[in-house]
Each structure stands twice: as structure tokens, then as C-alpha cells.
Structure 1
């Protein structure tokens, strides 16, 4: 249990640093919004499944969360 929490925490830190790098970099100028949204989605799913115990929830809630999140991300990327 403790190892998985440390692993998730490490992944969240890496994803946050990657988001900061992408936001401040001129290399990814064309796809900044898409990359940041993908990393934010990844971080949200890590938190939801690990710390909010969604992994133990009914599959309906898992699927509905994934579909809603996917729709929101697609709409935000599409608007940009």
C-alpha cells in the first residue's frame, strides 16, 4: 500500500514538472494546450483512482467519469 502511494506521488510530481516545462517552453508552441490537458487528465485520473478510491467503485462510475472527462478535454482542445 505505501509503495503504491509513493509511486503515485512521484508520478504526480513528474507530471507537474512536465506541465511546467511544457508551459514555459517554446519547443511545444503549437500543441501546448493539448499536452497540458493530457497531463492534467492523467493527474486527475491518478488522484481519482488512488486517493478517492474510485478503483473500488462500480464500473458505471468509472466509465461515466472517463467519458465525461474525455468529452471535456476534447471540447477544450477543440475550442483552442
Structure 2
């Protein structure tokens, strides 16, 4: 899944879409969540840590897209 998302990001980056940056950031967010919940075992963590991770990701991507 991570490889497929990476290849999709590369395809979007090489296309001439107006919203390419937004699409790439959303794909990166999915990859970040996949790594965090699967490889870092956060799916078994306390709900506070899950909410904090998702809030951080939302704020970070929002700020990057605004800038």
C-alpha cells in the first residue's frame, strides 16, 4: 500500500494538475497514518494519543497548504 501511494504521488507530481500539491499532501497524510497506526502500533494506544496524532496531522497539513 505504501509503495502504491508513493507511485501515485509520483504520477500526480509529474502531471499538470492545478491541485497537485493538495493531492500529494493528502496522499502523504494517508501514508503517515498507515505507518503510525500499523508499524508504530498506535492502533492499540490510548484514544488520547490517536486524537493527538490526527489533530497534529490536520493542523500541520492545513498550515503547509495555507503557506
TM range (shorter): over 0.9
**Any runs of at least 4 consecutive aligned residues in structure 1 with deviations exceeding 2 A, and if so which?**
none
Residue deviations 1:29-58, cap 9 Å, x none?
Answer: x11111110000000000100000000100
Q: How does 1:1-80 map to 2 (within 5 A)?
A: 11-26=1-16, 28=17, 30-79=18-67
- Give the total of aligned pairs: 67
TM-score by length of 2: 0.96
Counterpart position of 1:8: none
Query: How far apart in 1 are the matches of 2:38 and 2:46?
Result: 15
Listed as ranges, the gaps of 5+ residues in structure 2 are none
Aligned residues: CA RMSD: 0.6
TM-score by length of 1: 0.81
